[in-house]
């Protein structure tokens, strides 16, 4: 009879399920991310690079106008004025919108009521901002974190108070035991349920079934950005990015003050104060 005994180490190894990555992490090299997976980033990173992108856009637009001006002069005067004023008006509107977004983030006051029912992650300027920031070594995930930070602030200033049964909390399976226990304690404190989702399809089903008036979603930046873009701001979302000291999809954790403040915001309660990190960590 063959010897079927194994060492303790071998036995323990057989109990560990292989890591199953989400679709957004296909191709992950296995290396731990920058700053040990803590990509918390100030919203000013996104707003700062968006400002640079807008400057380039404005300069480029006026350069194009300068080059095509002789051709425009050949058009009827009313048509030429319409094209010039229309293009300039669009640029001014975009500049003003992001100036008001920055003012809202700076003061915490609502200068962007037009963002109710919208999310900053749906902005068409984001791909250009990501390209500009990559030239300075800012990763897509870190930029996504900054975008979500801005989105959370815009959601908060536009969000009316809701009842506890109108709030949906979505969690990933990869949270470590300590974090899960902490979330259980916090949600029990406010008598709110939470749901652990195996993937985006389950999250969409819960959204359809529960029809919440507010959502708190925990995931990595990639899944959060995909989720926000998927629901297209049909429901207000506070996105909390997890921290990944062991890499994606295993033993992740979150800032529990951020979680409790998200709950308190939706319920119309005063927020817990905490020291905010205003610089990129690492």
Q: Where are the beta strands (DSSP E) in the chain?
A: 167-172, 195-197, 214-219, 237-241
Output the pTM of the full model: 0.85
Rg over CA atoms, the chain: 23
Please write the tens of the pLDDT for every residue from 18-48.
566 776 777 677 777 888 889 999 999 999 9
Q: Region 239-245: what's the mean pLDDT?
A: 96
Domain 161-274: top CATH class: alpha beta
Q: How far apart are CA 155 and CA 112, in angstroms?
A: 10
Q: For 89-137, how does the pLDDT look when each residue is reduced to its tens digit (9 = 90+)?
A: 999 999 999 999 999 999 999 999 999 888 999 999 999 999 999 999 9
DSSP H/E element including 227:
helix 221-231
Counted residue by residue, the chain has a size of: 282
Q: Which residues pair with 218 in a beta bridge?
A: 240
Helix (H, G, I), strand (E, B) or coil at 187: helix
Contact 224, 15 (CB under 8 A): no
* Averaged pLDDT of the chain: 86
Burial 224-246 (b: 16+ CB within 10 A, else e): bbbbbeebebeebbbbbbbbbee
Q: Which of 190, 232, 235 is nearest to 216 (CA)?
A: 235
Percentage helix, strand, coil for the chain under 3-state DSSP, each rounded to 5: 55, 10, 35
With a pLDDT cut of 70, the percent of the chain lying above it is: 89
Q: What ranges do the domains of the chain cover?
A: 36-158, 161-274
For 129-132, which contacts have Cβ atoms below 8 Å and span 24 or more sequence positions? 129/46, 129/49, 129/50, 129/53, 132/49, 132/52, 132/53, 132/56
Rounded CA-CA distance 255/30 in Å is: 24
Residue 95, Cβ neighbours under 10 Å: how many? 15
The predicted pLDDT at position 19 comes to: 63
């Amino acid at each position: 009879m063959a010897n079927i005994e194994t060492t303790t180490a071998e036995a323990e190894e057989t109990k560990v399920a292989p890591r199953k990555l989400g679709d957004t992490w296909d191709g992950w090299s296995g290396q731990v991310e920058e700053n040990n997976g803590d990509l918390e980033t100030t919203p000013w990173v996104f707003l700062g690079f968006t400002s640079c992108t807008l400057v380039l856009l404005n300069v480029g637009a006026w350069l194009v106008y300068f080059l095509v001006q002789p051709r425009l002069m050949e058009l009827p005067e009313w048509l030429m004025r319409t094209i010039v004023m229309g293009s300039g008006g669009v640029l001014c509107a975009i500049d003003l919108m992001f100036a008001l977004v920055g003012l809202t983030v700076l003061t915490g006051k609502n200068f962007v009521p037009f963002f109710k029912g919208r999310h900053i992650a749906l902005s068409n300027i984001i791909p250009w901002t990501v390209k500009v920031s990559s030239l300075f070594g800012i990763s897509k995930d870190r930029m996504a974190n900054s975008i979500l930070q801005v989105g959370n602030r815009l959601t908060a200033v536009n969000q009316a108070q809701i009842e506890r049964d109108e709030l949906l909390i979505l969690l990933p399976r990869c949270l470590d035991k300590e974090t899960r226990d902490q979330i259980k304690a916090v949600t029990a404190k406010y008598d709110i349920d939470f749901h652990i989702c195996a993937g985006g399809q389950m999250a969409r089903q819960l959204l359809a079934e529960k029809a919440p008036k507010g959502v708190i979603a925990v995931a990595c930046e990639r899944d959060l950005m995909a989720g926000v873009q998927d629901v297209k701001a049909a429901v207000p979302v506070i996105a909390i990015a997890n921290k990944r000291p062991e890499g994606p999809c295993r033993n992740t954790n979150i800032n529990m003050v951020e979680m409790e403040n998200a709950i308190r915001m939706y319920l119309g309660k005063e927020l817990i104060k905490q020291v905010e990190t205003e610089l990129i960590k690492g």
